[in-house]
Structure 1
Amino acid sequence: MTATNWIKRHLIVLALTTAGLYLFHWSRGQWSDMHRWNRAFGDISFVLVALAMFMGPMLRLTGWRWVRGLIPYRRELGIYAVIAASVHTAIILVGWVNLDFARLFGFEFHPALNRYVMVQYGFALANLLGIAALLYGVVLAATSNDFSLSRLGTPVWKFVQQGAYVLWWLIVLHTAYFLFLHFLDFHRQIPEPNWAQWPFVAVTTITIMLQLSALVVTWRRQRQRIWTEQRGDCG
């Protein structure tokens, strides 16, 4: 990998991230500024991870040369997704729970009892999933380089990077809660409307279908290869 290609990929993904970030921010002009930026960083992080998840299955299904040329961009997509998720987390900590970490996990201070009590179980679970996704995303981003590949060795490096599928599902569950369930606790939609609900469902469904299709195609190819080799041995 040349330095020129590395810089080009970073610049392209950074431009994509910046454009998407401001588009998501602009699309929710009726929200408070904190929630606009909170969701904008969260949404662009989700989109970047989804794009990275598309590429492998697309290549296995089509074999198209232009898709093969996009595969190296998965590293940069993952890196900027983690950066965006980190900012998303910081906004929640400062702007939503006011650095009260108990509130991050669903607790609120009860003056009459003079202690914290659990009031939002879903909020706690969703944030735990989000934190787990962020921590694992940091591991993936930190090892998405040739130095880590050479130090860890190919088998270990591939094992770590295959955890991207776990990361994807953590992100999906975390995002689904805040898009569909969180504000039901208060019997109202705040802030509203959130247009991202059904695009999220569409992107998630397409990603799952691509992955399942690629799995089936890979299995069939392997079966075909084994069958061909067995026929050759018999001949």
Structure 2
Amino acid sequence: MRIGITSKKTLFLRHLRMAGLSALLVYLFYSSYSAWGVQPALWPDWGEDHPFWRAWAHAAFVLLFFALILSPASTLWKPVQRLLPWRRELGIWFAVLALGHGYAIWDRWARWDVGTLFGFQYVEELGSYILARPEVGIMNMMGLVMLPMIMLLAVTSSDRAVSFLGGSSWKWIHRSLVHAIFYIAMLRGVLYFFYFFQTTPPDWRVYPPIWFMYVFLGMGVVVVSLQGAAFAKTVLQRRSQRQENGILAILAMSGVVAMFVAPMALMLGTVAYFDSRLLKENPTLAGQAQAPQDPQAPVPDEYAQSFEMVIHADGQDSRLWVRDLDDAPSFRLTAEVGGAPVSEQIYRFSDRTLYVAEQGPGPNLTWSRMEDMDPEDIGLPQMILEPAVWAAQYGPGEHRIPVAEGELQVTIHSVDEPIADAVFEIPEDADPVPR
């Protein structure tokens, strides 16, 4: 709450400074996600727009962070009190950036379609909507819940609103809503940073790391830690006016602060624990899809040099072509779900290049390439040796092949027959980017 600044020039200059800071934050975040070593083509649904709307959201959170820490920090350290009047401008420009983020999502992601905004897709053949992107729907539903809260805080951030509502009522609205916004934003951030971008089947897409994830979680812990410490200091100071604070009182307040900080600490700890244990690479490229290979294990006596097969597992068809396994190996692996390709991998020994296609923002796959790759660099011998043994052992036809996890349904189309060069060519319009 602030009543006292009446100079329009002073208010204008304060907002001008906040506008400059906001623009700088958006620019820096956008640059970090689009120009500083990040390849947008490697992300799902990423074009130039994704770093743009992400930058608005993260810049907004930075302003929310400072707006939240100023009050408890001023309780703990008196010099910070001179910065308290800036909370209003921080809150207003947080709202501006948050609304900018929302508009960018509505305009550049949803394309002004409510169904797309909440993860639904209309299928004309069915005459109905289907839930195509539940994770997007959850994220945007959280944003929709926060929207009226943010707007209410923004429109009541004035001396006139304080006078109209009364000081205590105004404080109740702002303190209640800003903390609700904070906790929803933290949950939304964890969903986005951590759960969105993991290497999962069926396509095992690998994502670049998001540098802001742990910064974001750390900021959340700092907010609640400062709030808890300021609360404890205030309570103990008031108690000391009536009686001396004993060990039990201090321990009790420490427990209260610990429980207050616990939600953010548990969130950070859970993310850190599983982030350190999650798969970070494509197992079909790293040779991890099969059991670990003993480097001293003998090579099977009989395996096919060239073959074509389809492996059916977990609702996915993996179409595999291999040619000249020992001499000049080339392979192609196409993963399909419901008959539609979701990823491609093509390796040609002749140019030592691995081409990878993954789902992009449009209906077509987005291609990238890794150059100067020998077969051993991508684990090719270990990755395809077992299918090569199956091809030689079972021959063409439908087979149920016993594996460590049970049985695998495999269709072998050809064994040691010529495979055309065209099989190992990427589409002419692929334009793969280096990765």
- The within-5 A match list for 1:36-115 is 36-64=51-79, 67-115=80-128
- Residues 162-211 of structure 1, C-alpha deviations (whole Å, 9 max, x = no match): 12111111221222211111244875356x34221111111111112111
- Partners of 1:48 and 1:78 within 8 A in 2: yes
Give the drift of 1:19.
Answer: 1.1
The answer to whether 1:181 aligns with 2:195 is: yes
Distance in 1 separating the partners of 2:188 and 2:67? 18
1:198 counterpart = 2:214: yes
CA RMSD of aligned residues (A): 1.9
* Aligned residue in 1 for 2:148: 135
Q: Which amino acid is the alignment partner of residue 87 of structure 1?
A: G
**Matched residue SS, 2:121:** strand
Q: Partner of 2:122: helix, strand, or coil? A: strand
Q: How does 1:203-214 map to 2 (within 5 A)?
A: 203-214=219-230
Deviation at residue 93 of structure 1 after TM alignment:
1.1
1:119 offset after TM fit, Å? 3.4
Superposed CA offset, 1:110-137 (max 9, x none)? 3442211223333222212112222201
Instruction: Please identify which structure carries the higher helix content.
Output: 1
Q: Flag the structure with higher strand content.
A: 2
Aligned residue pair count: 225
Q: Secondary structure at the match of 2:241?
A: helix
Taking structure 1 as the reference length, what is the TM-score of the superposition? 0.88
Distance 1:40 1:120 in 2: 22
Counterpart CA distance in 1 for 2:29 and 2:138 is 25
Correspondence 1:26 to 2:39: no
Aligned to 1:218: 234
Conservation of the 8 A alpha-carbon contact between 1:126 and 1:173: no
Q: Letter of the aligned partner of 1:120 in structure 2?
A: R
Residue of structure 1 in register with 2:10 after alignment = 5
Distance in 1 (alpha carbons) for counterparts of 2:140 and 2:122: 18
Q: Give 3-state SS (helix, strand or coil) of 2:242's partner.
A: helix
Residues in 2 aligned to 1:60 and 1:45: alpha-carbon distance in whole angstroms: 24
Report the Cα distance in structure 1 between the residues aligned to 2:183 and 2:10, rounded to whole angstroms. Answer: 31
CA distance in 1, matches of 2:236, 2:20: 39
Match of 1:231 in 2: none
Q: Distance in 2 between matches of 1:134 and 1:48?
A: 16
**C-alpha distance in structure 1 between counterparts of 2:205 and 2:143, whole Å:** 23
Distance in 1 of aligned mates of 2:227 and 2:204: 36
Picking from 119, 144, 165, the partner of 2:179 is 165
Q: 1:49 to 1:92 in 2, by over 3 A?
A: same
Which structure 1 residue ranges, 5 or more long, are not aligned? 229-235
Residue of structure 1 equivalent to 2:131: 118
Contact 1:24–1:43 (8 Å) recurs in 2? yes
Structure 2: distance between partners of 1:187 and 1:104:
25
Give, in whole Å, the separation in 2 of the partners of 1:188 and 1:215. 45
The worse-fitting range, judged by mean Cα deviation, of 123-132 and 146-155 is 123-132
Higher RCO (CA 8 Å, separation ≥ 6 residues): 1
- Cα distance in structure 2, aligned partners of 1:146 and 1:187: 54
Distance 1:128 1:198 in 2: 24
CA contact (8 A) 1:123 1:182 kept: no
What SS does structure 1 have at the residue aligned with 2:211?
coil
- TM-score where L is the length of structure 2: 0.49
Identity of aligned residues (%): 28
1:96-119 per-position Cα deviation (integer Å, ceiling 9, x unaligned): 122221122221223442211223
Task: Please identify the structure whose Cα radius of gyration is greater.
Answer: 2
C-alpha distance 226-122 of structure 1, shift in aligned 2 (>3 A) = farther
Q: 1:119 to 1:187 in 2, by over 3 A?
A: farther
Cα distance in 2 for partners of 1:74, 1:211 equals 15
Deviation track 1:19-55 (CA, whole Å, cap 9, x = no partner) reads 1111111111233320121011111100000010110
SS in 2 for 1:27: helix
Whichever residue aligns with residue 19 of structure 1, its letter is L
* Gap runs ≥5 in structure 2: 41-46, 245-435
Q: Which amino acid letter does the alignment assign opposite residue 2 of structure 1? A: T
* 2-structure distance, mates of 1:107, 1:89: 18
